[in-house]
Structure 1
Amino acid sequence: MYPTVGDLLGIDLPIPTHAVFVALGVAVAGLVFTFEARRRGRTGDKVIAVVTGALIGGGLVMRLGTWLQHVDLRQNATLAEQWVYGNKSILGGLFGAWLGVHLAKRIVGYRIRTGDLFAPAVAAGMAVGRIGCLLTEPPGTPTHTAYGIVLDPVTAARLQVPAGVALHPSFVYEIVFHALAFVVLWRWLRHDRLPAGETLTVYVGAYAVFRLLVEFVRGNEVVWHGLTRPQLVLLATLPVLLLRLTVVLRRRESAMTSPARIPQLEAR
């Protein structure tokens, strides 16, 4: 059983810690999205519909994203069991949000690209939401570094990890990644330095590479040739992402060196 906010504060307050930080992450993402949408003049009912699609799609697929554990489908939990007891998947949530956005845009007929609005919002929300994972989930694999997390016997037994052994703070690594990504996205990339809508492509591509690497110290179940399930999913999708990133960077380079762009650069 995960600790509650009350456990962390030492008071009788039975509010699930993980759920609290996920909710805070969603709230922060919503604030950043709203600010950026207003800055770019992207407001109205259709934008609200797109955000609703992202939330519904992300919530559904996050819940069901870890359902396929075995090739033999009979060995997997039922969808009802998965919904109630199954683990949540951040990668599944991101895919579900992307799918929800595209379905919502088709339904309401919104053709303007929204990746530039979502990128900094998702990064900020992930940085906050992952604090809940840090406080409630196994930190990572054993490490000899001085900054490893050492758990007491009770907590270690609850999380089923070694007690008194320094463990990689893998969620700290992820929080730092998303926080730095937000700074980069907010400080530089949001100011029209990339083709319209491609900021999210850059962020998701960078996160995919980072997540592939951090999985080696995450402590998730190894299922095939030293790789975890998230790594197998990422290895299947990364080629597509990297191809898309290559196209984006080439388009940016072409735009920066075009005759119409050069005088503007010289005038700055």
Structure 2
Amino acid sequence: MALTFPDIDPIIVKLGPFELFGNTFEPALRWYGFMYLVGFMAALWLLNRKADRSNGLWSREQVSDLLFYGFLGVVLGGRIGYVLFYHFDLFLANPMYLFKVSEGGMSFHGGLIGVITAMAYIAWRQKRTFFAVADMVAPVVPIGLGAGRIGNFINGELWGRVSDVPWAMVFPTGGPDPRHPSQLYQFALEGVALYLLLWWFSKRTTKVGAVSGMFLLGYGVFRILVETVREPDAHLGLYLGFITMGQILSLPMIIFGLYLILRKQEARG
């Protein structure tokens, strides 16, 4: 026995078709994109509240700039990271594969690199330290992560390995066998649990970089745990017979996160 996958149409509403320069386009509002929009708006609301309570250290305009460049970092870094980390062979065969976004493919670790780049730019532009920006952003990131995992679940993608647990599901693209709904595990851990952990920890530390370190540590641990039941990418499989690419990319996050938490550092003012 297995749970029935809720067959939700990934398209909320179609906005076409229409003709433009002799070509037919069928744009649509999809649940996956909508969930990211929900995460973005929630992050904007929370960061604006933090700015209002920062005694002038942050303004709403500065928050808007931060989120704008952070969003660009997520999209560009996520796509580039996916291509380089997971489909570099296709990129070598055809560099234009990088721009085939209609075929899907985003990498969290690539998006993280993109966001780090955006935060470094904002720190330089607003004359702040890097970790002043990173510690501001870290507690709201799990909202977007959790929303994205719900989008993955609705799309019926990134499912888990075959399992006989009572809550296993048969996914439309996963064959006839019931599988772990690993997208929901990631929602619960990377979204809800990490959000609660970071907000709790941020109230109990004044060490510069510690909140950023807890984000790296928490995400790295949760991702490695979920990867034990998530189906590896078919073209990559398991490295050395037991470790996935997601786990490999998460190990440096754990190491650097621990360093940021444990290092000797003066408290922020």
In 1, are the aligned partners of 2:79 and 2:98 still within 8 Å (CA)? no
Structure 2: gaps spanning 5 or more residues:
1-8, 15-26
Cα displacement (A) at 1:194 = 4.3
Give matches, 1:101-180, under 5 Å. 101-111=119-129, 113-136=132-155, 137-151=157-171, 156=172, 159=173, 161-163=174-176, 165-177=177-189, 178-180=191-193
Which residue is 2:71 aligned to? 55
Q: Using structure 1 for the length normalisation, give the TM-score.
A: 0.76
Task: Say which structure is richer in helix.
Answer: 1
8 Å Cα contact 1:189/1:199 also seen in 2: yes
Written as runs of structure 1 = structure 2, the 5 A alignment for 1:163-202 is: 163=176, 165-177=177-189, 178-186=191-199, 188-202=200-214
Aligned to 1:209: 221
- Cα deviation, 1:180-204, whole Å, max 9, x if unaligned, reads 2212322x22224241342122112
Larger mean Cα displacement after TM superposition, 138-147 or 222-231 = 222-231
**In 2 relative to 1, CA 242–87 (structure 1 residues): closer, same or farther, beyond 3 Å?**
same
Q: Deviations over 1:122-158 (max 9, x none)?
A: 112222222111111142111111111234xxxx2xx
Question: RMSD value over aligned CA atoms?
Answer: 2.9
> Structure 1 residue 224: deviation in Å?
2.7
Higher strand share: 2
Q: What is the count of residue pairs matched by the alignment?
A: 236
Q: For the Cα contact (< 8 Å) 2:158–2:182, is it kept in 1?
A: no
Q: Which amino acid aligns with 1:128?
A: A
Q: Which residue of 1 aligns with 2:58?
A: 43
2:40 matched to which residue of 1?
Answer: 26
Over 3 Å counting, the alpha-carbon distance change for 1:118 and 1:176 in structure 2 is same
Alignment match, 1:225: 240
Identity of aligned residues (%): 23
